[in-house]
Structure 1
Amino acid sequence: MTAIPQGRTRRAALVTALCALAVTGSAVLTGCGADDPDAGTNGVGKLPADRIQAKTRAAAQGASAVRLSGTVVTSGRTYQLDMRLKDDGGTGSVTSKGATFKLLRVGRQLYLKADADFWNQAGGKGDGAAGKLNGKYVKVPQGDPAYKKFSGFTDKDLLLDGLLTLHGTLATDGHHDEAGTRTIRISADKGSGGSLDVSLEGTPYPLRLVRAGGAGTLSFADWGKDFAVAEPAKGETVDYGRQLPAS
Structure 2
Amino acid sequence: MTAIPRRRTPRAALVGAMCALAATGTVLTGCGGEDPDEGTNGVGKLPPEQIQSRTRGAADSAPAVRLAGNVVAGGRRYKLDMRLKSDGGAGSVTAEGATFQLLRVGEALFLKAGADFWTHADDDKGGPSDTAAAGKLDGKYVKVPQRDPSYKKFSGFTDMDVLLDGLLTLHGTLETVGHHQQAGVRTIRITGDNGSGGTLDVSLEGRPYPLRLVRAGGAGTLTFSSWGTNFPLAEPEKDETVDYGKQLPTS
Q: Distance in 1 between matches of 2:198 and 2:133?
A: 42
Q: For the Cα contact (< 8 Å) 1:33–1:39, is it kept in 2?
A: no
Matched, 1:238 2:242: yes
Q: Distance in 1 between matches of 2:116 and 2:192?
A: 41
Post-superposition offset of 1:197: 0.1
List aligned pairs for 1:25-174, cutoff 5 A.
35-123=34-122, 126=127, 127=129, 128-174=132-178
Percent identity (aligned) = 71
CA deviations over 1:24-62 (Å, ceiling 9, x no partner): 996xxxxx9961110000000000000000000010000
The match for 1:221 is: 225
Secondary structure in structure 1 of the residue aligned to 2:92: strand
Secondary structure in structure 2 of the residue aligned to 1:58: helix
Post-superposition offset of 1:76: 1.7
Letter in 2 for 1:242: K
The match for 2:184 is: 180
Q: Distance in 1 between matches of 2:199 and 2:163?
A: 17
Q: For the Cα contact (< 8 Å) 1:171–1:187, is it kept in 2?
A: yes
Letter in 2 for 1:81: L
Q: Distance in 2 between matches of 1:90 and 1:192?
A: 30
CA deviations over 1:73-117 (Å, ceiling 9, x no partner): 112210000000001110000001110000000111000000000
Unaligned runs of 5+ in 1: 1-22, 27-31
Letter in 1 for 2:193: D
Secondary structure in structure 1 of the residue aligned to 2:122: helix
Q: Distance in 2 between matches of 1:105 and 1:34?
A: 50
The match for 1:3 is: none
Q: Distance in 2 between matches of 1:46 and 1:56?
A: 14
TM-score, structure 2 length as denominator?
Answer: 0.85
Q: Distance in 2 between matches of 1:130 and 1:161?
A: 35
Q: Distance in 2 between matches of 1:140 and 1:25?
A: 60
Q: Distance in 1 between matches of 2:157 and 2:135?
A: 26
Q: Distance in 2 between matches of 1:71 and 1:25?
A: 37
Runs of 4+ in 1 over 2 A off after TM superposition: 23-26, 124-128
Letter in 2 for 1:170: L
Secondary structure in structure 2 of the residue aligned to 1:149: helix
Unaligned runs of 5+ in 2: 1-11, 16-30
